[in-house]
Amino acid sequence: MGLFNIQDGGGSGRLATVSAFFRLNVSAKTNPRLFYSSRDEGKAFNCVSTASSIATGEYIFYIKNSSTTDNLYIKEVEFHSAEAAIWKVWHVTGIASGTTITSSNLNLGSPNVAESLCAGNGAVSGLTNVKQVGTHRNGADGEGGMDYEDALVLPPGTAIAVEYIGTTGAAEIDCFFHYETIGKK
């Protein structure tokens, strides 16, 4: 039986190594993609929308991917409300009007800004619902979230909005998202 080397399949010419216990040295990325996007590229963000008094049927939050080179990946949308509520997440079209919100970079050392248009605070209008992509319910003084696990993808030019259904009251949204270059794996 002869010896053979395991070479990098990417063409770098590097060889695999073996530990003192005769195990192949390997590593894996096991944190969520949001973590690597924040740490490595400074392209992870949170957008917060608050409404001191939102009525049923109003949109509390809107986000549109305005990048031309990156997809926007939604990690999670968190819902908080003083009243019992149903939250509907919609794929939407149209030109949103309302209070502009600035997203915060989760890597506090990064100068990058989100390439998105965000609006909220219960003052979003001008939208047409295309299809519902999520729903959540919580009790009074409740909270919850929809963990999309980065599976909700907004290609350039696409948008979602969150609709509030419930008794008029205070509510908040946190939307965690990151960007990746189209075609990146």
Please, which pLDDT band fits residue 44 given cuts at 50, 70 and 90? very high
Does residue 24 lie in a domain region?
no
Does residue 13 lie in a domain region?
no
Rounded (5°) CA angle 29-35-36: 55
Does residue 28 lie in a domain region?
no
Residue 4: per-residue pLDDT: 67
Half-sphere exposure of 99 (CA within 13 A, CB side): 14
- pLDDT tens for each residue of 62-76: 999 999 999 999 999
Residue 82: per-residue pLDDT: 96
Domain count, the chain: 1
pTM of the model: 0.86
Residue 185: per-residue pLDDT: 67
103: CATH: 2.60.120
Does residue 11 lie in a domain region?
no
Does residue 20 lie in a domain region?
no
Residue 26: per-residue pLDDT: 76
Does residue 80 lie in a domain region?
yes
Burial of 101 (0-12, 13-18, 19+ CB in 10 A): buried
Residue type at 46 in one-letter notation: N
Residue 129: per-residue pLDDT: 95
Does residue 6 lie in a domain region?
no
Residue 105: per-residue pLDDT: 98
Does residue 5 lie in a domain region?
no
Please, which pLDDT band fits residue 30 given cuts at 50, 70 and 90? confident
- pLDDT tens for each residue of 85-138: 999 999 999 989 989 999 999 999 999 999 999 999 888 999 999 999 999 999
Instruction: Give the structural domain span for 175.
Output: 35-181
Please, which pLDDT band fits residue 19 given cuts at 50, 70 and 90? confident
- pLDDT tens for each residue of 130-163: 999 999 999 999 998 999 999 999 999 999 999 9
What is the DSSP code string of 107-167? STT------EEEEEEEEEEEEEEEEEEEEEEE-TTEEEEEEEEEEEEE-TT-EEEEEEEES
